[in-house]
Amino acid sequence: MNGALKITLAASLVAGLAACGNDDERSGPLGVLAQTASQVVAQRRAADQPVVAPKSPQEAAAEALRVNPGPLIQAGFESLDRTQVMALTGQNGALRTYMTPAEEALILRGGMLVGTRGLGHDLSVAEPQTETLIRAGATGTGVRIMRYFAGDGVERPLQFSCTVGAGPRPGVTVESCQGHGTSFQNSYMVAGGQIAVSRQWIGPNLGYVTIQTLRP
């Protein structure tokens, strides 16, 4: 399957779920993304060039796949009204950190969101006991603990009761959670035990993020 077709399919799945440094730094995943962004800005500012319309998420994904050979995801932050390509910058066991040139990061475990950094109101760590059910596409219940740093710097946990089951579309698993006067619903598409496309709740301030794997 070619890159363009992968991007088109991934984009349609997301829509369904949502109903200056040294040479090493410049050649690394963030450097490639930053250079690409700088080139676009420079082109738009050139006096003899017409203003270039912003790239669509599909165009941005295709460009990132072309210039960056490493693992990539695309994340759409609904409350921030922006979609960004994020490159793998670190791995610790099963945990992968994907980051933008602005050092905003998502921490994933096989596609499951377990933390954020640099976004403000960050999720320190998520502990979903429902993860095994989600990866298996099974039904059941479990507890999800979401830990956040408060203004005083103290980490505070929020515990939610969750139910996992089949979603409204074939191949979609839904995790419905409630607690502390709020409720949210995460949606996942799993392939080979890995979450390839998802819509996951970060927290009460940041809301939902849609995540699709561009290159594993």
Beta carbons of 163 and 174 less than 8 angstroms apart: no
pLDDT band at residue 60, thresholds of 50, 70 and 90?
Answer: confident
Beta carbons of 94 and 85 less than 8 angstroms apart: no
Residue 1 DSSP one-character state: -
Instruction: Express each pLDDT in 79-136 by its tens digit.
Output: 999 999 999 999 999 999 999 999 999 999 999 999 999 999 999 999 999 999 999 9
- Euclidean distance between the first and final Cα of the chain, in Å? 14
Q: Is the pLDDT of residue 30 over 50?
A: yes
Residue 206 tokens, joined: 């940041």
Q: What is the CATH number of domain 3-215?
A: 2.40.360.10
Q: What is the pTM of this model?
A: 0.77
Q: What is the pLDDT of residue 216?
A: 95
Name the residue ranges covered by the structural domains of the chain: 3-215
